[in-house]
Amino acid sequence: MDRIEQLHIFARVAHSGSFTQAADQLGLPRATVSLAVQQLESRLGTRLLARTTRRVALTQDGQALLERAQALVADMQELEQQFRPQGGALSGRLRVDMPSRIARRLVAPALPGFFALHPGVEVELGSSDRAVDLVQEGVDLALRVGTPPASSLVARPLGQLRMVNCASPDYLARCGTPRSPQDLARHQAVNYASPTSGRVEPWEWQQAGQVHTLVLPGSVAVNNAETYIACCLAGLGLIQVPAFDVREHLQSAELVEVLPDWPAPAMPMQLLYPHRRHLSRRLQVFSQWLAEVLAPCWEAGDPSRGLG
């Protein structure tokens, strides 16, 4: 194993805080990861990691090495890409994370087309509604909807997701159809609680260029998009959701769009990368492919516009 690879393994252990997690993220045996770090420590003549039964932490020398190690690994990756034919076959593993609904409804069905073009690439597709730590968990790319919190991550804006207000026919038969935001006081919502903070998101609408909010009562609060839509289908209240997410339900009249003139603000969608200077060619190619797969969902081209 060469020194650059040892530095790459050391950096992954440092970020994950675990030899086992680093081995899983790199697709290597744990013994190989442990040996690489031991050899690096022996070569440098210093202990880089303090090991406990539960956690691995950087020593002072390890902290000093980490930033330089990441720069050296990135420089080597850039150098290899410079001399690798651009038309050459891509290979290697990518760890990607995105919301579960987008993964299931949009990305997974399109993946065979990507693998037909790039059979040498392996994709580990994580899908959840929680925010993951890209650096600690070794994620190469994350797709996020909404405004991300300030961080050192590199963000690539993709587009805006058009939002719609929905209810089931059963709910509207029982509670009536709201005709304006003033009618909302007589309605209830399926409340959505942030998986990260637990905070219930208020109802939002745009009017005269301003965004208004209102906390609606509700019998149920959820922290998962699948459950959010399922509760609406069950007649438990109004929801606000990206249009692509309920396109089929609107077409089949399982859900009805309400208050179409008072939508919530469109939600930004972006790709997030760990803070680093260079991206592998396989990551660049996958990112571009993903942007093209998601393009029909953006506000300007959403084919569900006008449904309901």
- Domain edges within the chain: 3-83, 92-159+268-301, 163-265
In whole angstroms, give the CA distance from residue 266 to residue 163.
6
Per-residue pLDDT band for 278 (boundaries 50, 70, 90) equals low
In whole angstroms, give the CA distance from residue 306 to residue 308.
7
In whole angstroms, give the CA distance from residue 283 to residue 43.
32
Residues contacting 186, CB < 8 A, separation 6+: 175, 176, 178
In whole angstroms, give the CA distance from residue 29 to residue 142.
25
Domain 92-159+268-301 has CATH 3.30.300.30: no
Whether pLDDT at 308 is above 70: no
In tens, the pLDDT along 260-277 reads 999 999 999 999 888 655
**Residue whose C-alpha is closest to residue 129's, from 107, 145, 112:** 145
Same CATH fold, 163-265 and 92-159+268-301?
A: yes
In tens, the pLDDT along 138-152 reads 788 899 888 776 666
Whether pLDDT at 178 is above 60: yes
**What are the structure tokens assigned to 79, written together?**
């150098």
In tens, the pLDDT along 56-111 reads 888 888 888 887 887 787 677 666 655 665 556 777 788 899 988 899 889 999 99
In whole angstroms, give the CA distance from residue 285 to residue 68.
27
In whole angstroms, give the CA distance from residue 39 to residue 44.
9
pLDDT higher at 182 or 300: 182
Per-residue pLDDT band for 301 (boundaries 50, 70, 90) equals very low
For residue 92, the model assigns a pLDDT of 77
DSSP 3-state percent helix, strand, coil across the chain (nearest 5): 40, 25, 35
Kind and range of the H or E run holding 240 = strand 239-242
For residue 149, the model assigns a pLDDT of 67
Q: Quote the percentage of the chain above a pLDDT of 70.
A: 88
Read off φ and ψ for residue 126, nearest 5 degrees.
-90, 135
Per-residue pLDDT band for 249 (boundaries 50, 70, 90) equals very high
Per-residue pLDDT band for 137 (boundaries 50, 70, 90) equals confident
For residue 164, the model assigns a pLDDT of 96
Residues contacting 206, CB < 8 A, separation 6+: 212, 262, 263, 264, 265
In whole angstroms, give the CA distance from residue 241 to residue 245.
7
Domain 3-83 has CATH 1.10.10.10: yes
In whole angstroms, give the CA distance from residue 245 to residue 50.
47
Whether pLDDT at 235 is above 90: yes
Spatial contact of 189 and 237, defined as CB atoms under 8 Å apart: yes
* Coil, helix or strand at residue 123: strand
Give CATH superfamily name and number for 163-265.
Answer: Periplasmic binding protein-like II (3.40.190.10)
Highest average pLDDT, of 54-68, 124-138, 210-224, 262-276, comes from 210-224
For residue 50, the model assigns a pLDDT of 87
Q: What is the DSSP letter of 68?
A: H
Per-residue pLDDT band for 299 (boundaries 50, 70, 90) equals low
Q: Which of 161-165, 223-227, 285-289, 300-304 is least confident?
A: 300-304
For residue 129, the model assigns a pLDDT of 67
**What are the structure tokens assigned to 164, written together?**
């719609």
**Residue whose C-alpha is closest to residue 199's, from 220, 223, 172, 235:** 223
Q: What is the DSSP letter of 256?
A: E
pLDDT higher at 281 or 204: 204
Q: What is the mean pLDDT of the chain?
A: 85
Highest average pLDDT, of 7-16, 48-57, 235-244, comes from 235-244
